[in-house]
């Protein structure tokens, strides 16, 4: 509740093409991904633009920090599955695929739970290839923010600071995207 009250003080503007805004509001389900440093703001702000979709299913690391974010996300109405690259991530991606096929959008951190920062990992790509869902990359921009001295340079918007939620065009990963073709998609997601 404290996080909700805090972020409610920050007006948010969606910066996306009309097609992306329509998909966010009306469907079909998508795979959201953002950098680890931005993960708090989209938990609150993406929901403002999702219409009446069922809650997004998220993956959170089974670490202490991951559990904190999981508690915040559950408080905001998200379904949270536990997993990371080193702890049950493959099984969690399978579970997320099942949720996706039942009509739920999914969310994964692009640079994973341990980084390196702003280097895209392949989890979102694997999920997109398995489900044939579109990846919507999400970034957050705000002038008034605290940047923490952590591995990801975590950003916390300051109260009353305006937030721009930047949502890029859909990225598709096809069944034949493997090896070098998947690496090309990873680079495309990263930039």
pLDDT of residue 147: 94
What value does the mean pLDDT take over residues 58-63?
90
Give, for 163, the enclosing helix (H) or strand (E). strand 163-167
Pick 76 or 122 by higher pLDDT.
Answer: 122
What value does the mean pLDDT take over residues 115-137?
95
Dihedral over Cα of 179, 168, 11, 103: its sign: negative
Q: Does the pLDDT value for residue 1 go beyond 70?
A: no
Pick 63 or 97 by higher pLDDT.
Answer: 97
Which two structure tokens, joined as six digits, stand for 172? 């598709």
The pLDDT > 70 percentage for the chain reads: 99
- Is 171 in contact with 47 (CB distance < 8 Å)? no
Can you tell me which residue has the tokens 């073709």? 181
pLDDT of residue 103: 94
- pLDDT (tens digit per residue) in 80-125: 999 877 777 889 999 999 999 999 999 999 998 888 999 999 999 9
User: 71-75, 83-87, 92-96, 177-181: which has the minimum mean pLDDT?
Assistant: 83-87
Can you tell me which residue has the tokens 């640079």? 111
Q: 79 to each of 13, 54, 55, 75, 136, how far by Cα in Å?
A: 25, 10, 7, 10, 19
The CA distance from 191 to 189, in Å, is 6
Q: Helix, strand or coil for residue 111?
A: coil
What value does the mean pLDDT take over residues 159-181?
95
Sequence-distant (≥ 6) Cβ neighbours of residue 100 within 8 angstroms: 29, 31, 57, 106, 127, 131, 133
- pLDDT (tens digit per residue) in 16-31: 999 999 999 988 999 9
Q: 35 to each of 10, 38, 40, 52, 99, how far by Cα in Å?
A: 20, 5, 10, 25, 22
Which two structure tokens, joined as six digits, stand for 60? 């959170």
As a residue count, the chain comes to 191
Which two structure tokens, joined as six digits, stand for 77? 């109405």
pLDDT of residue 3: 72
Which two structure tokens, joined as six digits, stand for 20? 């992306």
């Amino acid at each position: 509740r404290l996080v909700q009250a805090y972020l409610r003080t920050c007006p948010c503007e969606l910066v996306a093409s009309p097609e992306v805004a329509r998909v966010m509001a009306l469907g079909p389900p998508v795979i959201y991904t953002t950098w680890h440093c931005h993960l708090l703001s989209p938990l609150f702000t993406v929901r403002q633009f999702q219409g009446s979709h069922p809650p997004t299913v998220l993956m959170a690391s089974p670490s202490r920090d991951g559990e904190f974010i999981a508690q915040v996300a559950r408080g905001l109405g998200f379904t949270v599955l536990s997993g990371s690259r080193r702890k049950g991530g493959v099984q969690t991606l399978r579970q997320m695929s099942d949720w996706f096929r039942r009509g739920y959008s999914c969310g994964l951190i692009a640079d994973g739970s341990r980084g390196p920062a702003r280097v895209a990992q392949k989890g979102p790509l694997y999920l997109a290839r398995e489900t044939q869902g579109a990846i919507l990359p999400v970034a957050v921009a705000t002038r008034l923010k605290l940047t923490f001295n952590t591995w990801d340079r975590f950003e916390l918007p300051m109260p009353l600071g305006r937030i721009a939620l930047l949502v890029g065009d859909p990225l598709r990963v096809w069944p034949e995207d493997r090896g070098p073709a998947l690496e090309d998609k990873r680079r495309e997601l990263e930039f």
